[in-house]
Amino acid sequence: MARILITGSSDGLGLMAGRLLVSQHHEVVAHARNESRAAATRSALGGAGEVVIGDLSTLVGMAEVAKAANATGRFDAVIHNAAVGSNERRVVTEDGLSHVFAVNVLAPYVLSALIEMPDRLVYMSSGMHRAGNPHLDDLQWSHRRWSGPQAYSDSKLYVAALAAALARHRSELFSNAVDPGWVPTKMGGPGAPDDLEMGVATQVWLAVSRDAGARVSGAFFFHQRQVGAHPAMHDAVLQDDLLAACASIAGVRLISA
């Protein structure tokens, strides 16, 4: 039996992954933004496991989630599922950050830095990462005209690069990125054409499977297969520049110099 933390698991793919893992007799620690969502998550998971609470759009909330997660014990795997979608208008958080960047990129960075390192890390990316802009000169969209789809694509490229950076710097880990597909969730919409079950199965497989195909690192997966990613995902200079930018913003270092 493995212990798995899943961020953003009060609904959608995160909740479905939690249910699947519980059905396989793994111990799941879920995450919700507030107490009311946490109560609904506990009910949806049949009372199994714990739920940590915190708003991943703020630096304080990120630290709260990490502290609460560590208090439950060490994890075998962490699935970084929490995200906001491509239809977001430009919102600035209380820390002065783009909401999309804060939740989709900085939160997985901070949690990876503050949570005791597990054996496996799974970062939820998207096929839209292939349209991402690899330049880091305007992470908060302070100078560009806002585009929700572009901000989302950028964020999903950055989180894929984060997965690859950890794989490169920490050889003892299995750290990978996943494209769940355009699936019919609240974020994807009811008309999304991809296989919802495979979108969930892939992240769960990477988190717990003993299959040789799941015990790799630095790869990009779609439906339990390694697929090609934006070349910038594997650019060591971009990876390290992103790590440095996140460390500067968050005041937390993930990789020692």
Predicted local distance difference test score (pLDDT) of residue 184: 53
Asked whether 210 and 2 are in contact (CB, 8 A), the reply is: no
Predicted local distance difference test score (pLDDT) of residue 188: 52
- CATH number of the domain within which 184 lies: 3.40.50.720
Predicted local distance difference test score (pLDDT) of residue 234: 98
Using 50 as the pLDDT threshold, list the residues of the chain that sit under it.
Answer: none
Asked whether 48 and 22 are in contact (CB, 8 A), the reply is: yes
Question: For the chain, how many structural domains are there in total?
Answer: 1
- Is residue 28 helix, strand or coil? strand
- Is residue 27 helix, strand or coil? strand
Query: Is 255 contained in some domain?
Result: no
Task: Report the predicted TM-score, pTM, of the whole model to 2 decimal places.
Answer: 0.95
List the catalytic residues. Answer: 152, 156
Predicted local distance difference test score (pLDDT) of residue 198: 80
Predicted local distance difference test score (pLDDT) of residue 189: 53
Query: Is 114 contained in some domain?
Result: yes
Predicted local distance difference test score (pLDDT) of residue 49: 76
Structure tokens at 140: 């908060």
Structure tokens at 233: 């995902």
Query: Is 256 contained in some domain?
Result: no
Predicted local distance difference test score (pLDDT) of residue 90: 95
Predicted local distance difference test score (pLDDT) of residue 112: 98
Query: Is 98 contained in some domain?
Result: yes
Domain that holds residue 150: 3-250
